[in-house]
Chains A and B, each alone.
Chain A
Amino acid sequence: MMKLNARETQIFFITLGLAVFFVVYQFVFKPIHEGSLDIDDRLSLDQERFIKASQLLAQKDQIEDRYQHLINLIGAAGSDESQIPTIVAKVEAAARESNIHISNIQPQRSNILKEIVFLGVELEIDGQWLDIVKFLNLIQQQPNFYFIDELNLEKYSGTVNSLRGRVVISRISLVNP
């Protein structure tokens, strides 16, 4: 191997030093610096998530109470049609009270939307306008949430306000309360 003189040795070591500095900067400091920036983002993101999670957990009992309250208001659980008799009973009771004649009751197929089940019945009714309003009002009174999905009333007598038609009502139930 050729022996280097003092000047060549100095140049060699300076070049070697620069090369070492470049390698150390490129493969050690730069990744650490970039990793540090990345970790800052992750840290602030995680801190936000943790604060949000803590706030949410602090409201846990309130949310649970609110949920239980809603379940009590809805008053039904499950997606089967075993709820239909309850609906029919309420409809018949309201019809009796408001002098509405129901000529047909037809259970509808249940619909599920976001784990909320809609159990419905189709009614064929006839009666006076005000009685029908009273009937539907009685049905929609609490407890339980009843919906009027469809309604079609037509006047069939020229002299009195007698109406007949069909109405589809439904109530909600929860799949997994």
Chain B
Amino acid sequence: MYQQQSVLSNKPGAIFDLDVDHSEICLCTKDYWLTSREIPIGFKQMQRDGYIEILNQWELTKNNISGEKLTVPVELVYLASTANDANGLMLELAKLQSGLTTKDIHLTQILSLANGVKWPKLMTDDGVSVASLAGIAFSAQASPIDLIPRAVRQAQKQRAYQRQLIVLGVWITAALVSLGLALGMGFFRKNFQLARLEDRLRVTKYEVFKVEDQLQRINDIEGVITDRLIFSNLAGEIYRLLPAQISLVSFTISDGNTLSLEGVTSNPVAINQFQRDMVNSKYFSNVSLDYDNKRVTQDGEVDYFKITCILNFVNGIK
């Protein structure tokens, strides 16, 4: 993994794999591995006791290379960790050796994890070595095996599922909006038509009201005129129906349409005839004989009578 780094000199380099309660220091060159030591010092102890012990272990590692004696100083140190706590150690290493380049490999920043995945607990639960992850972090090439933790995969699946739901929701919303527009289009069009029609009605309202009022007045006037009694026509009708034996002595029109006739005759049959003819005439209705009194005069016995009727308002009389 170290070899895969793009810019490497021939001088040896080191990798610190820092964990909570232990660490591993690895020394290697561009061409081959030199040594690796696991030491029981982690962030917990470094925070409690400082960096003296780990720096001692660093010196021991450098001085105890079994194969080849380390004659040239280490030029590059990678500090691989899952937290930001490596900054202190980085400063201490720089103080210890001038010209030493230190690089922080922060796994949680390099590896993109699903939201909510607890680091590094879930990683360790999955049994994935942090050192392997550090290697992946160094690597410029794709990993040959799937090192994505189960929790991350589940979180990714969950996220993909949620994304699908959101997309589905967007489509449903779009469909509902389209349906609403399709259904509402007619409604809005009719509303527009109605508003335009009501505007036109409002404009013509005053004019129409004037014409309607005028028409109403015409009807009222014509109604009154139609109900007018034309006396000459009434007189002509009575003259036509009146038998020669009857002589009228009184002629009364009251309430505009009630006619009362009083007459005298020596022939009672003529009264019946007169009444019957009035009943048959279209100009009279409710014809009734109010009285028929017999009186004895110098000329003999005569009948005084009174007929009352209602005038029908038909053409001819009206």
Q: How far is the CB of A21 from chain B (nearest CB, A)?
A: 8
Question: Do A56 and B214 contact each other (CB < 8 Å), given the known contacts A145-B228, A150-B253, A153-B252?
Answer: no
B249 adjacent to A155 (CB under 8 Å): yes
Contact A151 B204 (CB under 8 A): no
Q: Is the interface of A mostly helix, strand, loop or mixed?
A: helix
Q: Are B198 and A151 within 8 A (Cβ)?
A: no
Given A17-B172, A24-B176, A39-B190, also A172-B224 (CB < 8 A): yes
A-side contacts of B180, CB under 8 Å: 28-29, 32
Q: A57-B207, A148-B229 are in contact. Are A67 and B251 (CB under 8 A)?
A: no
- What is the CB-to-nearest-CB distance from B58 to chain A, in angstroms, rounded to a whole number? 45
A93 within 8 A of B: no
Chain B residues 220 to 263 lying within 8 A of chain A, measured CB to CB, are 220-222, 224-225, 228-232, 235, 247-256
Could you say which of B73-81, B94-102, B181-189 contacts chain A? B181-189
- Whether B221 lies near A74 (C-beta < 8 A) is yes
> Residue A70 at the B interface, CB < 8 A?
yes
Q: Which residues of A contact B55 (CB under 8 A)?
A: none
Could you tell me how many residues of chain A have their Cβ less than 8 Å away from some Cβ of chain B?
Answer: 53
Q: A33-B183, A74-B221 are in contact. Are A43 and B249 (CB under 8 A)?
A: no
Binding site for B on A (CB under 8 A): 6, 9, 13, 17, 24, 28-29, 32-33, 35-36, 39-40, 42-43, 46-47, 49-50, 53-54, 56-57, 59-60, 63-64, 66-67, 70, 74, 113-116, 133, 136-137, 140, 145, 147-155, 163, 165, 172, 174
Given known contacts A24-B176, A39-B190, A70-B222, A56 and B252 CB-to-CB distance under 8 angstroms: no
**Cβ contacts under 8 Å, B230 to chain A:** 140
Are the CB atoms of B190 and A43 closer together than 8 Å?
Answer: yes
Q: Top 3 closest A-B pairs, CB basis?
A: A151-B253, A137-B232, A136-B231
Contact B218 A140 (CB under 8 A): no
Question: In whole Å, how far is B166's beta carbon from the nearest beta carbon of chain A?
Answer: 11
Give every chain A residue within 8 A of B214 (Cβ-Cβ): 63-64, 67
Q: Please, which residues of chain B bring their CB within 8 A of the CB of A150?
A: 253-256
Whether B220 contacts A116 by the Cβ 8 Å rule is: yes
* B186 partner residues in chain A, CB cutoff 8 A: 36
Nearest CB on A from B276, distance (A):
23
Task: Across the interface, name the chain B residue whose C-beta is closest to A69.
Answer: B218
Q: Is the CB of A70 within 8 A of B218?
A: yes
Interface centre among B161, B176, B231 (most CB of A within 10 A): B231
Is the CB–CB distance between B220 and A114 below 8 Å? yes
The contact of B250 among A54, A56, A153, by CB within 8 Å, is: A153
Residues of A contacting B218 in the complex (Cβ-Cβ under 8 angstroms): 63, 66-67, 70
Neighbouring B residues of A148 by C-beta, 8 Å = 229, 231, 253, 256
User: Which residue of B has the minimal Cβ distance to A118?
Assistant: B224
Once the chains bind, are A47 and B197 in contact (CB under 8 Å)? yes
- In the complex, residue of chain B having the shortest beta-carbon distance to the beta carbon of A155: B249
Q: Is B212 an interface residue (CB 8 A)?
A: yes
Contact residues in B for A136 (Cβ distance below 8 Å): 231-232
Residue B129 at the chain A interface, CB threshold 8 Å: no
Contact with A along B54-98 (1 / 0, CB 8 A): 000000000000000000000000000000000000000000000
Distance (whole angstroms) from the CB of B129 to the closest CB of chain A: 29
Residue pair A32, B184 in contact (C-beta under 8 Å):
yes
**Interface check B194, CB cutoff 8 A:** yes
